[in-house]
Amino acid sequence: MNDLKGKVAIITGGASGIGLATVEAFLDKGSKVVLSDYNEELGKQQADRLAEKGEVIFVKADVSKEEEVKALVDKTVETFGTVDVIFNNAGIGSQGETHALSYEDYEKVIKINQDGVFFGAKHALNVMRENGGGVIINCASILGLVGEPTAFAYNAAKGAVVLMTKSLALQYAKDNVRCVGIAPGYVESGMVNKEALGEYYDGLVAKHPIGRLGVADEIAHAVIFAAENTFLTGLTIPVDGGYTAQ
Protein backbone atom coordinates (compact mmCIF):
# COMPACT_ATOMS: atom_id res chain seq x y z
CA MET A 1 0.00 0.00 0.00
CA ASN A 2 1.06 3.56 -0.71
CA ASP A 3 1.28 5.49 2.57
CA LEU A 4 -0.10 8.94 1.78
CA LYS A 5 1.31 10.63 4.87
CA GLY A 6 3.62 13.41 3.73
CA LYS A 7 2.84 12.83 0.05
CA VAL A 8 2.02 15.81 -2.17
CA ALA A 9 -1.35 15.80 -3.94
CA ILE A 10 -2.83 18.24 -6.45
CA ILE A 11 -6.63 18.35 -6.64
CA THR A 12 -8.17 20.34 -9.52
CA GLY A 13 -11.72 21.58 -9.15
CA GLY A 14 -10.98 21.43 -5.44
CA ALA A 15 -13.09 24.27 -4.12
CA SER A 16 -16.41 22.40 -3.99
CA GLY A 17 -18.16 19.06 -4.39
CA ILE A 18 -16.08 15.95 -5.10
CA GLY A 19 -12.89 17.97 -5.33
CA LEU A 20 -13.31 19.57 -1.93
CA ALA A 21 -14.21 16.25 -0.30
CA THR A 22 -11.05 14.79 -1.82
CA VAL A 23 -8.89 17.64 -0.54
CA GLU A 24 -10.20 16.91 2.96
CA ALA A 25 -9.65 13.17 2.53
CA PHE A 26 -6.00 13.64 1.59
CA LEU A 27 -5.47 16.04 4.48
CA ASP A 28 -6.96 13.42 6.81
CA LYS A 29 -4.32 11.01 5.49
CA GLY A 30 -1.55 13.47 6.35
CA SER A 31 -0.84 14.53 2.78
CA LYS A 32 0.28 17.97 1.67
CA VAL A 33 -2.41 19.29 -0.64
CA VAL A 34 -2.61 21.84 -3.41
CA LEU A 35 -6.24 22.89 -3.81
CA SER A 36 -6.70 24.27 -7.31
CA ASP A 37 -9.80 25.81 -8.81
CA TYR A 38 -10.94 28.42 -11.31
CA ASN A 39 -12.94 30.15 -8.57
CA GLU A 40 -10.23 32.10 -6.76
CA GLU A 41 -12.39 33.57 -4.00
CA LEU A 42 -13.96 30.26 -2.99
CA GLY A 43 -10.70 28.37 -3.40
CA LYS A 44 -8.85 30.70 -1.04
CA GLN A 45 -11.68 30.52 1.48
CA GLN A 46 -11.61 26.72 1.48
CA ALA A 47 -7.82 26.54 1.76
CA ASP A 48 -7.86 28.98 4.68
CA ARG A 49 -10.65 27.01 6.37
CA LEU A 50 -8.78 23.73 6.00
CA ALA A 51 -5.37 25.02 7.10
CA GLU A 52 -5.99 23.73 10.64
CA LYS A 53 -6.26 20.17 9.24
CA GLY A 54 -2.81 20.18 7.63
CA GLU A 55 -0.60 21.66 4.94
CA VAL A 56 -2.74 23.07 2.14
CA ILE A 57 -2.32 25.91 -0.34
CA PHE A 58 -4.56 27.34 -3.04
CA VAL A 59 -3.42 27.85 -6.63
CA LYS A 60 -5.82 29.26 -9.20
CA ALA A 61 -5.87 27.45 -12.55
CA ASP A 62 -8.12 27.16 -15.58
CA VAL A 63 -7.42 23.58 -16.65
CA SER A 64 -8.39 24.34 -20.26
CA LYS A 65 -5.21 26.45 -20.54
CA GLU A 66 -1.95 24.53 -20.62
CA GLU A 67 0.16 27.41 -19.36
CA GLU A 68 -1.98 27.66 -16.21
CA VAL A 69 -1.76 23.92 -15.52
CA LYS A 70 2.02 24.03 -15.97
CA ALA A 71 2.15 26.97 -13.55
CA LEU A 72 0.07 24.95 -11.08
CA VAL A 73 2.52 22.05 -11.18
CA ASP A 74 5.51 24.40 -11.01
CA LYS A 75 4.05 26.14 -7.94
CA THR A 76 3.45 22.77 -6.29
CA VAL A 77 7.07 21.74 -6.81
CA GLU A 78 8.28 25.15 -5.65
CA THR A 79 6.25 24.86 -2.44
CA PHE A 80 6.41 21.16 -1.58
CA GLY A 81 9.28 19.82 -3.68
CA THR A 82 7.45 17.26 -5.81
CA VAL A 83 4.10 15.88 -7.05
CA ASP A 84 3.14 12.40 -5.85
CA VAL A 85 -0.55 12.40 -6.81
CA ILE A 86 -2.69 14.46 -9.15
CA PHE A 87 -6.46 14.14 -9.23
CA ASN A 88 -7.66 15.60 -12.53
CA ASN A 89 -11.13 16.38 -11.27
CA ALA A 90 -12.12 19.76 -12.72
CA GLY A 91 -15.01 19.48 -15.17
CA ILE A 92 -18.29 20.91 -16.39
CA GLY A 93 -21.58 19.28 -17.36
CA SER A 94 -23.51 19.69 -20.59
CA GLN A 95 -27.02 18.75 -21.69
CA GLY A 96 -28.89 19.41 -24.92
CA GLU A 97 -29.79 18.10 -28.34
CA THR A 98 -26.76 17.53 -30.56
CA HIS A 99 -28.32 19.07 -33.68
CA ALA A 100 -28.61 22.34 -31.77
CA LEU A 101 -25.17 22.17 -30.12
CA SER A 102 -22.82 24.99 -31.12
CA TYR A 103 -19.19 24.20 -31.75
CA GLU A 104 -18.24 26.75 -29.09
CA ASP A 105 -20.26 24.91 -26.43
CA TYR A 106 -18.95 21.53 -27.60
CA GLU A 107 -15.36 22.80 -27.58
CA LYS A 108 -15.71 24.22 -24.05
CA VAL A 109 -16.77 20.84 -22.67
CA ILE A 110 -13.91 19.07 -24.48
CA LYS A 111 -11.29 21.61 -23.42
CA ILE A 112 -12.13 21.47 -19.72
CA ASN A 113 -13.08 17.80 -19.31
CA GLN A 114 -10.64 16.21 -21.75
CA ASP A 115 -7.82 18.64 -22.48
CA GLY A 116 -7.62 19.43 -18.76
CA VAL A 117 -6.79 15.77 -18.08
CA PHE A 118 -4.11 15.82 -20.78
CA PHE A 119 -2.49 18.97 -19.42
CA GLY A 120 -2.59 17.73 -15.82
CA ALA A 121 -1.12 14.34 -16.72
CA LYS A 122 1.53 15.79 -19.03
CA HIS A 123 2.99 18.23 -16.55
CA ALA A 124 2.68 15.96 -13.52
CA LEU A 125 4.45 13.21 -15.47
CA ASN A 126 7.49 15.39 -16.02
CA VAL A 127 7.90 15.61 -12.24
CA MET A 128 6.85 12.06 -11.38
CA ARG A 129 9.21 10.41 -13.88
CA GLU A 130 12.12 12.43 -12.53
CA ASN A 131 11.27 11.66 -8.91
CA GLY A 132 10.67 7.93 -9.16
CA GLY A 133 6.93 7.58 -9.71
CA GLY A 134 3.50 8.77 -8.75
CA VAL A 135 -0.23 8.35 -9.29
CA ILE A 136 -2.47 10.07 -11.83
CA ILE A 137 -6.17 9.81 -11.02
CA ASN A 138 -8.68 11.01 -13.59
CA CYS A 139 -12.29 11.86 -12.89
CA ALA A 140 -14.27 10.19 -15.67
CA SER A 141 -17.99 9.55 -15.22
CA ILE A 142 -20.64 6.90 -15.66
CA LEU A 143 -21.26 8.86 -18.88
CA GLY A 144 -17.80 7.84 -19.99
CA LEU A 145 -19.02 4.23 -19.78
CA VAL A 146 -22.61 4.45 -21.04
CA GLY A 147 -24.44 6.76 -23.40
CA GLU A 148 -26.84 9.55 -22.48
CA PRO A 149 -29.09 10.91 -25.26
CA THR A 150 -28.60 14.57 -24.41
CA ALA A 151 -24.95 14.52 -23.34
CA PHE A 152 -23.06 14.17 -26.63
CA ALA A 153 -20.11 16.43 -25.78
CA TYR A 154 -19.89 15.18 -22.20
CA ASN A 155 -20.04 11.54 -23.37
CA ALA A 156 -17.28 12.29 -25.85
CA ALA A 157 -15.01 13.91 -23.28
CA LYS A 158 -15.52 11.42 -20.48
CA GLY A 159 -15.28 8.45 -22.84
CA ALA A 160 -11.93 9.84 -23.93
CA VAL A 161 -10.81 10.11 -20.32
CA VAL A 162 -11.45 6.38 -19.81
CA LEU A 163 -9.13 5.45 -22.69
CA MET A 164 -6.59 8.15 -21.86
CA THR A 165 -6.34 6.49 -18.45
CA LYS A 166 -5.55 3.12 -20.04
CA SER A 167 -3.00 4.65 -22.39
CA LEU A 168 -1.19 6.49 -19.61
CA ALA A 169 -1.12 3.39 -17.41
CA LEU A 170 0.44 1.28 -20.16
CA GLN A 171 2.89 3.93 -21.27
CA TYR A 172 4.30 4.89 -17.87
CA ALA A 173 4.16 1.71 -15.80
CA LYS A 174 7.88 1.36 -16.48
CA ASP A 175 8.39 4.69 -14.71
CA ASN A 176 6.47 3.56 -11.61
CA VAL A 177 3.57 5.84 -12.50
CA ARG A 178 0.07 4.44 -12.09
CA CYS A 179 -3.06 5.86 -13.68
CA VAL A 180 -6.59 5.14 -12.46
CA GLY A 181 -9.97 6.55 -13.45
CA ILE A 182 -12.93 7.15 -11.16
CA ALA A 183 -16.43 7.14 -12.70
CA PRO A 184 -18.94 8.69 -10.31
CA GLY A 185 -22.65 8.22 -10.62
CA TYR A 186 -24.89 11.18 -9.90
CA VAL A 187 -23.82 12.86 -6.68
CA GLU A 188 -25.84 15.15 -4.43
CA SER A 189 -24.60 18.70 -4.91
CA GLY A 190 -25.71 22.30 -5.09
CA MET A 191 -27.14 21.69 -8.56
CA VAL A 192 -28.17 18.03 -8.19
CA ASN A 193 -30.71 17.73 -5.40
CA LYS A 194 -34.44 17.38 -4.89
CA GLU A 195 -35.04 21.11 -4.56
CA ALA A 196 -33.10 21.99 -7.71
CA LEU A 197 -34.40 19.15 -9.90
CA GLY A 198 -37.98 18.95 -8.70
CA GLU A 199 -39.93 16.21 -10.47
CA TYR A 200 -36.82 14.93 -12.23
CA TYR A 201 -35.06 14.05 -8.98
CA ASP A 202 -36.97 10.83 -8.24
CA GLY A 203 -36.39 9.59 -11.79
CA LEU A 204 -32.66 10.19 -11.42
CA VAL A 205 -32.58 8.32 -8.14
CA ALA A 206 -34.46 5.42 -9.74
CA LYS A 207 -31.58 4.91 -12.19
CA HIS A 208 -29.36 3.92 -9.26
CA PRO A 209 -30.23 0.42 -7.98
CA ILE A 210 -28.91 1.31 -4.54
CA GLY A 211 -31.90 3.65 -4.23
CA ARG A 212 -30.23 7.02 -3.77
CA LEU A 213 -27.67 9.37 -5.24
CA GLY A 214 -24.09 9.38 -4.06
CA VAL A 215 -22.37 11.85 -1.78
CA ALA A 216 -19.03 13.50 -2.43
CA ASP A 217 -17.26 11.72 0.42
CA GLU A 218 -17.98 8.35 -1.22
CA ILE A 219 -16.19 9.45 -4.39
CA ALA A 220 -13.30 10.89 -2.40
CA HIS A 221 -12.93 7.55 -0.63
CA ALA A 222 -12.49 5.86 -4.02
CA VAL A 223 -9.81 8.39 -4.97
CA ILE A 224 -7.92 7.57 -1.78
CA PHE A 225 -8.23 3.85 -2.56
CA ALA A 226 -6.82 4.44 -6.04
CA ALA A 227 -3.91 6.43 -4.61
CA GLU A 228 -3.11 3.86 -1.92
CA ASN A 229 -3.43 0.55 -3.80
CA THR A 230 -0.11 -0.02 -5.55
CA PHE A 231 -1.37 -2.88 -7.77
CA LEU A 232 -4.15 -0.80 -9.29
CA THR A 233 -3.62 0.80 -12.69
CA GLY A 234 -5.21 1.13 -16.11
CA LEU A 235 -8.86 0.84 -15.15
CA THR A 236 -11.76 3.14 -14.40
CA ILE A 237 -13.73 2.31 -11.26
CA PRO A 238 -17.48 3.02 -11.31
CA VAL A 239 -18.64 4.48 -8.01
CA ASP A 240 -22.24 4.66 -9.05
CA GLY A 241 -24.68 2.79 -6.84
CA GLY A 242 -25.09 0.13 -9.53
CA TYR A 243 -25.98 2.53 -12.36
CA THR A 244 -23.70 0.87 -14.95
CA ALA A 245 -24.45 -2.68 -13.76
CA GLN A 246 -27.79 -2.61 -15.56
Across the chain, how many H-helices and E-strands are there? 9, 7
* Pairwise CA distance, residues 129 & 239, whole Å: 29
* Pairwise CA distance, residues 33 & 7, whole Å: 8
Query: Residues 20, 43: contact at Cβ < 8 Å?
Result: no
Cα 70 to Cα 1, 38, 191, distances in angstroms: 29, 14, 30
**Radius of gyration of the chain, Cα coordinates, nearest whole angstrom:** 17
* Pairwise CA distance, residues 143 & 157, whole Å: 9
Residues that are catalytic? 154
Q: Which helix (H) or strand (E) holds 8?
A: strand 8-11
* Pairwise CA distance, residues 94 & 41, whole Å: 24
* Pairwise CA distance, residues 10 & 25, whole Å: 12
SS3 238: strand
Q: Which of 237, 245, 232 is nearest to 220 (CA)?
A: 237
